[in-house]
Amino acid sequence: MLSGIRTQPFQSGRGPLSPGSRAGLGAALALLALVSAMELADGPTAHYIALMVTAPMLAAALGSWRVVLGVGVLATAIGGSFALAEQTLSLVSAVNVAGVALATGIAGAVAAVRQRQSEKIAELSRLASVAQQAVLRPLGPQVGTLAVAARYISSTARAEIGGDLYEAMDTPYGVRMIIGDVRGKGLDAVRLASIVLGSYRHVAYERADLRAVVTDLDRAVARNVGDEDFVTAALVEERGGTLTIVNCGHPPPLLLRRGAVIPLEPPAPAPPLGFMPVVRPRVERLEPGDRLLLFTDGLGEARRDGEFFPTADRAWRLLGHGTVADGLASLETALVEWVHGRLDDDIALFLMEYTGPRSEVTAAVPSWEVGAAES
């Protein structure tokens, strides 16, 4: 969920400079060089010392407070040298040098405050990312009779975390999968996603009917959300080559079969979890080699210049080759290229392939029991 957070903390000043500090230092030094050249070309009387105040201010916009102070000290020293080079030190030049020194102190304080805030935000984002990754455990490459892979694509438009979720388990009732999307973002969304997944990991082993699983999840959501909060979800069960899907306000999965892409729309619409959904299952018979793509609505909303990403049109070319992990990697690459690297919402992707019926494996008889087995 937050595996792609791109917030980069500012360096504390020890060790290599951060890119921001390097940029601020370079811009400030270039400005000092320009003002110094103007002052030298103007003659013995200093007229441009006051312009040097912009150097520490410019550094404060990007660099650390240590970089700002270094630039400010250099600007003050250069300004002072120009003031002392005058035949008679004027009051205006002295005031200008003092102004550069004062501006350096102010800029350093501003940079220190900004740096602390940036480091706190980066740390909170990192902790949120760790929490989110703990909620979404790694999946694959095989669950029961299915080859599976999952990917989480974080939004690059804003460094926020979302509540997209997925899970797959081999239960006594077959391989059961869920994909869902919590309304909203932030730690509250991650908390609700963890509640849904925690409940699902329990009831998926206890309830024989997916509709009963939906009922239990709906109660868990209703106990932990406000009036306007909800979770869209699609629950899938594969058992003996039969696919059963129940959909609670979620984008329908896409079935990929022999070059065709088939949206598995539910028999009747149902509201999300939290609104007491009454679901009707959709049942499909699988063929070996069939693939099923589950995704959250961030994929359907991805667009550039008002044109949505053509998921259904390109799904087979992107997802129908190699392993399921290869397919998801191709889809992510094509998607990021389509939106020029800017997504408005996080996206969870889950791809499974039905490899055929489960083979019956006979346990080997230990060599010392061969005689007993034959008697």
Would you state the structure tokens that stand for residue 266, as one six-digit string? 């539910």
Closest among 9, 14, 275, 230 to 117, alpha carbons compared: 9
Over residues 226-240, the mean pLDDT reads 90
Would you state the structure tokens that stand for residue 141, as one six-digit string? 């490459």
Closest among 218, 266, 267, 236 to 173, alpha carbons compared: 236
Q: Is 157 exposed, middle or buried (0-12, 13-18, 19+ CB in 10 A)?
A: exposed
- 79-88, 136-145, 314-323, 354-363: which has the highest mean pLDDT? 314-323
Alpha helix segments (H runs only) across the chain: 19-42, 54-62, 65-84, 91-135, 187-203, 210-222, 297-301, 311-319, 324-338, 370-374
Percent helix / strand / coil, the chain, rounded to 5: 45, 20, 35
Asked whether the beta carbons of 76 and 95 are under 8 A apart, the reply is no
Query: Residue 49 corresponds to which amino acid?
Result: I
Q: What pLDDT is attached to residue 207?
A: 95
Range in 78-87, 121-130, 256-265, 292-301 the model is least confident about: 121-130
Helix (H/G/I), strand (E/B), else coil: 140: coil
**Is it the case that residue 50 has pLDDT exceeding 50?**
yes
Interatomic CA distance for residues 250 and 349, integer angstroms: 13
Higher pLDDT, 129 or 280: 280
> Which residues are registered as beta bridge partners of 175?
170, 238
Confidence band for 358, pLDDT divided at 50, 70 and 90: low
pLDDT digits (tens, 9 = 90+) for 52-80: 888 888 888 888 888 888 888 998 898 88
Higher pLDDT, 129 or 189: 189
**Is it the case that residue 219 has pLDDT exceeding 90?**
yes
Closest among 223, 194, 199, 224 to 213, alpha carbons compared: 199
Largest Cα–Cα separation, the chain: 119
Confidence band for 16, pLDDT divided at 50, 70 and 90: low
Would you state the structure tokens that stand for residue 149, as one six-digit string? 């892979």
CA 296 to centroid of chain Cα atoms? 13
- Write the CB contacts of 106 (distance below 8 Å, at least 6 apart in sequence): none
pLDDT digits (tens, 9 = 90+) for 172-182: 999 999 999 99
Higher pLDDT, 58 or 326: 326
